[in-house]
A and B are shown apart, each in its own frame.
Chain A
Amino acid sequence: MTPRAAVIAGFAALLVVAVVADLVARRAGSGVRPLAATLTAALRTRGGRVVVLAAWLWLGWHFLAR
């Protein structure tokens, strides 16, 4: 496996783990809340909103404008 293929596989694995974790979190009785619920909880405070929205703005700048 080339280093490039390993990097791509690593990113893909991270994405798969995140999707599986979210699916598991949506099952009844799970001790982990889904990503959407966790983000919503993080947005309850002004500090949380500043951090999350700053990260979102940076993502837009980094991927679409930089």
Chain B
Amino acid sequence: MDSAFEVTAEQTRRRRAVVVGLLVTYALLAAICRPLTDPALVAVLVVGAPLCWVGVRRRPRRAPPVGARSAAVWLGLLGLGVAVELGLWLGPDDVAHPTLSTLADPVLSTYPGRVLGYLLWAGSGVWLVSR
């Protein structure tokens, strides 16, 4: 029983190492593409579309429902963030009122910043699909 468990744990570790390796390779390659270009769009879609397809089709793990209070807290914070972002986006288009993406632009205009951005984005996608 113990050895069977060890094999499963070892397989899980290997699978995680492969996924992390693929994520890092993807981020290093995708970050070569500068934002606002067709290659960048392809870099997002080449991972985004398959993950969305798999995520929508697969049967998720059984998870206990969360209460209304949890939904209210997290949806409230999300709504507040979206309202602030929308207000800035619809407001004056100048450096004094930057949106979140405008603030992120200096970071994402560098290669290391984009590697980090692609890692966070693709990693969160894999996490969502594995739920």
Number of A-B contacts (CB under 8 A): 122
Residues of A in contact, count (CB < 8 Å): 39
**Interface of chain B residues 43 through 59 with chain A (CB within 8 A):** 43-44, 48-49, 51-52, 55-56
Q: Are B69 and A64 in contact (CB under 8 A)?
A: no
Partner of B73, one of A21, A46, A54, A63: A21
Chain A stretch 38-55: residues in CB contact (< 8 A) with chain B: 38-41, 43-44, 46, 49-50, 52-54
Query: Would you call B63 and A44 a contact (CB within 8 A)?
Result: yes
B contact set with A: CB distance below 8 Å: 30, 35-36, 40-41, 43-44, 48-49, 51-52, 55-56, 60-67, 69-71, 73-74, 77, 80-81, 84, 88, 95-98, 100-101, 103-104, 108, 114, 117-118, 121-122, 124-125, 128-129, 131
* A interface list, Cβ under 8 A from B: 2-4, 7-8, 10-11, 14, 17-18, 21, 25, 31-33, 35, 37-41, 43-44, 46, 49-50, 52-54, 56-57, 59-66
